[in-house]
Structure 1
Amino acid sequence: MPGLTHEKRCLPPVAGVDEAGRGPLAGPVVAAAVILPPWGVPRGIDDSKKLTAPTRADLCRRLHDCAIVGVGIVEPGEIDTLNIYWATMKAMTLAVDAVAAILGCAPGHVLVDGNRLPRWGYAATPIVGGDALSRSIAAASIVAKHTRDTIMIAAAESYPHYGWHANKGYGAPQHLAALREHGPCPLHRRSFAPVAQAVLAL
């Protein structure tokens, strides 16, 4: 389970940051920043990919109750304008900005999953595989993934043929088949190759 070794090396309060949704063909990229409380942290926090959807939902709710949580969302149109890398960096920045607004000041340090940092003024450290090493980053991964999954499940009600309730916008067979048959909708990332190809085929 992710521990607090990295957090203990940093000036508090420490925010963990992670994102969800870099790879899908549709929907936003979502980042979360989480500052865990000194006590009362929910048990079972782990890399979101290792948890079931119901467990993520429960932990996300409990984290909102006990921790300082910020979320940053960048929509598909802006992803197409910026590209997915810079859109992800913007989502992370928005998430930490939200935490800073709650605190009334910048976090003491920010731990970011990955090997690169946004261009920001925060003291920060990137950690490759951080969602498996840092409890704060793991908590952020849970919030980011559950938040994005919830958005895509809601969007599936308006665009049911893409199967987003199950594939969350990734390039699953049902999604790709629906793209070929129906073309893209406003939530598709038109800069992504399978979507661009579907546009050309119309």
Structure 2
Amino acid sequence: MRSEVSLAHERALWDSGARVVAGIDEVGRGALAGPVSVGICALVPCDTWPDGLADSKQLTPLRRVAMAKELATYGVARAVAHASAVEIDELGIVGALRLAGLRGLAALAADGVVVDAILLDGTHDWLSAPAADLFATRSGVDAIASLVPGAPAVPPVTMVVKGDGRCASIAAGSVLAKVERDALMTDADSAHPDYGWERNKGYGAPVHLEALRALGPSPLHRLSWSLPARQA
């Protein structure tokens, strides 16, 4: 049965003159450890999407992995980019999200894909530079953009509430980001097995919280967050 996503939002932007529309979603914002990851799927006018495409949270892990393989050839370009736990501590979660998003757009630009318009999941535009950028220097330099060589100017952003379940491009970005971040946390579990990251992917599951109380944080933990204190 066909999923509930559609290309209605993308088509509205295509009809308004945009040629390349990118759907963007993030994964890992609420985790205690590991990166925050941003997935991007760029589309030119089309009428189809992979059967069963949906918000990554609605898919089983096996189905997400299978869907990510199908998405490898969907659209004109795809990217997943990350900001590390250290960068989250330095920039805050909003700054880190923007850093990861700019890295993703820079990767597309390096492949010759220029995005004309963006569909971003949620209610808050964390990708565009604020009018009074908290991360700008006194000289007016965009400090976060300066960290990403080749980062293009961010095109107009349209917010879509629950866009990961409504827009095919955003849903694709959510699946790509979720699969790649999950794989990173599973790999990290072998070096830090006590935290249970293979199962909880860095979120605050009981086994993760208990390990933090017993062992304290690892190098992949977000130290600026309210982590459980290590017990003597």
Offset at 1:105?
4.6
Q: Distance in 1 between matches of 2:31 and 2:187?
A: 16
- Please give the secondary structure, in 1, of the residue aligned with 2:219: coil
Please name the residue that 2:40 is paired with: 33
For 1:42, which of 38, 50, 55 is the aligned residue? 50
Offset at 1:43?
1.2
Q: Give the root-mean-square deviation of aligned CA atoms.
A: 1.6
For 2:59, which of 51, 57, 66 is the aligned residue? 51
1:1-202 alignment to 2 at 5 Å? 1-10=4-13, 11-36=18-43, 38=46, 41-67=49-75, 68-102=77-111, 104-117=112-125, 118=127, 119=129, 120-194=153-227, 197-198=229-230, 201=231
Identity among equivalent pairs (%): 40
Higher share in helix: 1
Offset at 1:106?
2.3
Aligned length: 198
Offset at 1:56?
0.6
What residue identity is the alignment partner of 1:27? G
Q: Distance in 1 between matches of 2:172 and 2:202?
A: 23
Q: Distance in 1 between matches of 2:102 and 2:53?
A: 23
Q: Distance in 1 between matches of 2:57 and 2:49?
A: 19
Return 38-47 or 105-114, whichever deviates more: 38-47
TM-score of the two chains, using structure 1 as the length reference? 0.92
Please name the residue that 2:137 is paired with: none
What residue identity is the alignment partner of 2:73? D
Q: Distance in 2 between matches of 1:160 and 1:150?
A: 14
Please list every run of 5 or more consecutive structure 2 residues that lacks an aligned counterpart in the other structure. Answer: 130-152
Please name the residue that 2:141 is paired with: none
Return 33-42 or 49-58, whichever deviates more: 33-42
Offset at 1:63?
1.1
TM-score of the two chains, using structure 2 as the length reference? 0.80
Offset at 1:100?
2.5
- Please give the secondary structure, in 1, of the residue aligned with 2:227: helix
Alignment CA distance shift 1:5-1:48 (3 Å): same
What residue identity is the alignment partner of 2:10? E
Contact 1:34–1:99, Cα closer than 8 Å, also in 2:
no
Q: Distance in 1 between matches of 2:154 and 2:210?
A: 44
Q: Distance in 2 between matches of 1:56 and 1:157?
A: 22
Where do 4+ consecutive residues of structure 1 move more than 6 Å? none
Contact 1:34–1:137, Cα closer than 8 Å, also in 2:
yes
Alignment deviations for residues 38-61 of structure 1 (CA, whole Å, 9 cap, x no partner)? 367321110000000011111112
